[in-house]
Amino acid sequence: MMTEIQEAKKMSTKIKEKHEVLLSIRDLHVWYELRRFGFGLAGHVKAVDGVSFELEAGETVAVVGESGCGKSTLMKTILGINIPTAGELIFEGKNLAKLTSNELQKYRFEIGYVQQDPYAALPPFMSIQQILEEPLLISGVKDKDERLERIHKIMSEVKLHPVDDFIHKFPHMLSGGQQQRVVIARAMILEPNLIVADEPVSMLDASVRVEILKLLRALQEKHKLTVIYITHDLSTVKYFSARIFVMYAGNLVEKSETRRLLENPLHPYTMALLAATSDPDAANAETFKDIPPGEPPSLVNPPKGCRFHPRCAKMIQGVCDEKEPIEFEPEPNHFVACWLYQP
Amino acid sequence: MSVVKSDELLKIEKLILYFKTTKGVVQAVDGVDFELGTNRAVVILGESGCGKTSLSKALLRILPRNVEEYSGKVTLQGTDVMTLTDEEYRQNVRWVGISLVPQAAMNALNPVIKVGEQVAEPAMLHLGLNKVEALGLVHKMFQHVGVPADFVERYPFELSGGMRQRVAIAMALVTSPNLIVLDEPTSALDLLTQANIMNVLKRIKRELGTSFILITHDIATSSELADEVAIMYAGQIVETGDAKDFFPAPLHPYSQMLMASVPRLRSESDPIFITGQPPSLMNPPSGCRFAARCPFRFEKCNQEPPVFQKGNRKVKCWLHQ
Ligand SMILES: Nc1ncnc2c1ncn2[C@@H]1O[C@H](COP(=O)(O)OP(=O)(O)OP(=O)(O)O)[C@@H](O)[C@H]1O
Ligand SMILES: Nc1ncnc2c1ncn2[C@@H]1O[C@H](COP(=O)(O)OP(=O)(O)OP(=O)(O)O)[C@@H](O)[C@H]1O
Ligand code: SF4
Ligand SMILES: [Mg+2]
Ligand SMILES: [Mg+2]
């Protein structure tokens, strides 16, 4: 059994080597300093605490987890906005920590960022043209005609057409869905390889959500983009991402191909997320859901051992509450940080 | 044919709430009718801006200053509450008859008063209890909603969002109203917390026999509580029916497309989206308000459709004439 898995593992790393690794993250920690007035440093918010993964060029992956688990912190670190406390970030073979400020600036242009809240993301006093022109100016596109041409091109790609109707409008004149199209256009205008979409649809209505997710999907396929899609809505993941990472209290607790995770969730937290996700069905009203009690822990003093153990029905006394789980691979390319899977 | 429910708790007829603005009149609630029985839950589903919160305000008579028109008939347990004076309404209807958990209630708690005292207040004011009696009742309500008893001594900032939302529900419950209106009670909460709150509402419904009007745009979560569904579009209810009839087979083209836009975890269906946007509530079209986006529209749709009755269900669409 063991050798089989090891074989499979070797195979999978071999297969992987053929593809181009775009982003590699190794044991990343991102802590915020917690200062209390008059007391100096009072501790750290361990928002990302030991995260590792690799992303191949053209891959789509979803990061799923509840509020405060560290999703945005992880993304802001990838975007070069947060500095890692420990661990490494390698983008296209370059270690982020070793870049000069010039190189870092260039690096930031290679990643497009789609924020959660379109209303907050767009400056209210700039027209759509000015909003889309800004990144071009900063990145040094000097020719006005070229800038306009690129603005027109990206606007029609995100279906803000007829372009001339929209280009001189201000954000408040657009619907939520149209505003989110502008945010996507701005993220795409420098032709990045990687798009980070942080809850791109959670502020939108059901039907507009589908519209925007389909647009992102079409752009991803057309330009072979690598996309990290952050969400707390498991029901949208399979339409959008081939792989899925489940995040809990600063850790990635499960990593897998999306369909496999939905069919065969391994981590008790993943199982709880799936159980909590409803499909519209009148029968739902007849039964109670079996949901773990409590709330996610403080990231300043997370529980000893497995961070999920105080809420976990399968907790193994003396193990889960003592030792931090390591990552196991019970089936090929399906990783889980939970002691239940210790071979 | 009209179905008369013997255990009728609430009946709303031609409810209207219009707002005055500098640009014109916003017809936020435009002739809403529906009925609700004892110990039943109806969910009102609709997109942002269709008038859901305005409907809850019209029901609870929580009116802003810029009201242009407020009319219709609301019968609660046989009493026509629209004919009551504001004072009579406050005394006899609000809290003791209907209570409200407003949109974003968990952030509306008073930051400098202990949550136990905040929940006790409506019981003292409306049930005439003294503080000790009221706090005794608060303990009971906290049990129903799953808040630990010692939390009565805490301030809102010492509680998580989920716990604050439970406190807001306890406050609506403490005067034992027969009907509770919940405006987006779970939309700001995390997935597991949402599921826990829906469990709490189901338990209250079973244990206390309360009726609910649940207002939300979260279709999947709404099915956790719904006995009945009402679909709201551009200020009007376009379809009502039992949840068990509605969810598998909605009738109105808007309901059908709305349901088809829901991504599902346990099926391979490819969600669709509705092109276009809802009409402005200042100048709604004179015919069917969904016509501009409707794939089935025909000549008739230029006139406003009446509500057609189909068995237990009602639908405002010419296709069902
Ligand atoms: N600048 C900061 N200083 C201190 N703590 C922070 C800072 N930014 C985030 N945090 C804390 O770090 C933790 C992780 O926050 P983060 O924003 O990464 O979570 P998230 O998963 O994106 O949550 P959400 O789903 O609510 O967006 C939270 O406890 C948050 O309060
Ligand atoms: N006091 C007011 N004065 C003028 N217009 C108002 C007022 N309150 C609400 N409106 C308008 O009435 C319409 C319906 O608003 P309402 O808040 O009832 O919608 P909703 O369905 O609850 O939306 P959401 O899902 O975003 O909460 C909107 O166009 C809104 O802008
Ligand atoms: S490691 Fe233990 S406590 Fe943590 S999820 Fe697995 S079984 Fe539960
Ligand atoms: Mg975030
Ligand atoms: Mg509302």
Is B114 part of a structural domain of the chain?
A: no
Q: Are A217 and A134 in contact (CB under 8 A)?
A: no
Pocket of ligand 3 (CB under 6 A): A 267-268, 306, 308-309, 312, 314-316, 320, 325, 338-340
pLDDT digit string, tens, across residues A280-328: 999 999 999 999 988 889 899 999 999 999 999 999 999 999 999 999 9
Identify the pLDDT of residue A273.
96
pLDDT digit string, tens, across residues B16-48: 999 999 989 999 999 999 999 999 999 999 998
Tell me, yes or no, whether A122 and A214 share the same domain.
no
State in Å: Cα B15 to ligand 5 middle: 17
Tell me, yes or no, whether A169 and A217 share the same domain.
no
Band (pLDDT 50/70/90 cuts) for residue B2 is: very low
Range of the domain at A175: 114-191
User: Atom 9 (ligand 2): residue with closest C-alpha?
Assistant: B54
pLDDT digit string, tens, across residues B132-169: 999 999 999 999 898 999 999 999 998 888 889 999 99
Is B208 part of a structural domain of the chain?
A: no
pLDDT digit string, tens, across residues B268-287: 889 999 988 899 999 999 99
CA dihedral A73, A74, A75, A80 (to 10 degrees): 90
Tell me, yes or no, whether A33 and A50 share the same domain.
yes
Which chain B residues in 108-147 lie under 8 Å from chain A, judged by CB atoms?
A: none
Is B216 part of a structural domain of the chain?
A: no
List b or e across B48-78, with b for residues whose CB sees 16 or more CB atoms inside 10 angstroms: ebbbbbbbbbbbbbeeeeeeeebebebbbee
Identify the pLDDT of residue A9.
47
Is B151 part of a structural domain of the chain?
A: no
Tell me, yes or no, whether A308 and A232 share the same domain.
yes
State in Å: Cα B148 to ligand 3 middle: 25
Q: Specify which residues B193 forms β-bridges with.
A: none
Tell me, yes or no, whether A210 and A166 share the same domain.
no
Identify the pLDDT of residue A88.
95
Backbone angles phi, psi at A140, to 5 degrees: 90, 25
**Which residue out of B15, B47, B52 has the highest number of ligand 2 atoms within 8 Å of its CB and is therefore the one to mutate?**
B52
Distance from the Cα of B40 to chain A's closest Cα (Å) equals 11
CATH number at residue A24: 3.40.50.300
State in Å: Cα B182 to ligand 4 middle: 26
Tell me, yes or no, whether A102 and A138 share the same domain.
no
Any residues with CB less than 8 A from the CB of A231 and at least 6 apart, and which? Answer: A62, A63, A64, A199, A202, A237
Tell me, yes or no, whether A16 and A66 share the same domain.
yes
Identify the pLDDT of residue A17.
46
List b or e across A74-87, with b for residues whose CB sees 16 or more CB atoms inside 10 angstroms: bbbbbbbebebbeb
Is B211 part of a structural domain of the chain?
A: no
Identify the pLDDT of residue A11.
47
Q: Does B184 touch chain A (CB under 8 A)?
A: no
Identify the pLDDT of residue A14.
44
Range of the domain at B276: 2-97+228-320
Which residue do the tokens 């507009």 mark? A208
Q: Do B273 and A293 touch (CB under 8 A)?
A: no
Distance in angstroms (rounded) separating the CA atoms of residues B233 and B46? 6
Backbone angles phi, psi at B154, to 5 degrees: -90, 160
Number of domains chain B is built from? 1
Band (pLDDT 50/70/90 cuts) for residue A186 is: very high
Tell me, yes or no, whether A74 and A216 share the same domain.
yes
pLDDT digit string, tens, across residues B91-110: 899 999 999 999 888 888 99
Any residues with CB less than 8 A from the CB of A142 and at least 6 apart, and which? Answer: none
Q: Does the pLDDT of residue A15 top 60, yes or no?
A: no
Lowest-confidence pick of A225-239, A249-263, A264-278: A225-239
Distance in angstroms (rounded) separating the CA atoms of residues B250 and A206? 16
Is B280 part of a structural domain of the chain?
A: yes
Distance from the Cα of A24 to chain B's closest Cα (Å) equals 29
| Mean pLDDT of the region B239-255 | 97
Is B168 part of a structural domain of the chain?
A: no
Tell me, yes or no, whether A250 and A293 share the same domain.
yes
Tell me, yes or no, whether A180 and A209 share the same domain.
no
Tell me, yes or no, whether A182 and A220 share the same domain.
no
| Mean pLDDT of the region B230-253 | 97
Report the mean per-residue pLDDT for chain A: 90
Q: Is A47 in the pocket of ligand 1 (CB under 6 A)?
A: yes
Tell me, yes or no, whether A256 and A170 share the same domain.
no
Any residues with CB less than 8 A from the CB of B209 and at least 6 apart, and which? Answer: B38, B39, B178
Q: Which atom of ligand 1 is nearest to the CA of A299?
A: 29
Identify the pLDDT of residue B107.
87
CATH number at residue B92: 3.40.50.300
Which pairing describes strands B67-76 and A60-64: parallel, antiparallel, or unpaired? unpaired
Is B240 part of a structural domain of the chain?
A: yes
Band (pLDDT 50/70/90 cuts) for residue B5 is: very low
Q: Do B258 and A208 touch (CB under 8 A)?
A: no
Identify the pLDDT of residue A240.
87
| Mean pLDDT of the region A237-247 | 94
Q: Does B243 touch chain A (CB under 8 A)?
A: yes
Number of domains chain A is built from? 2
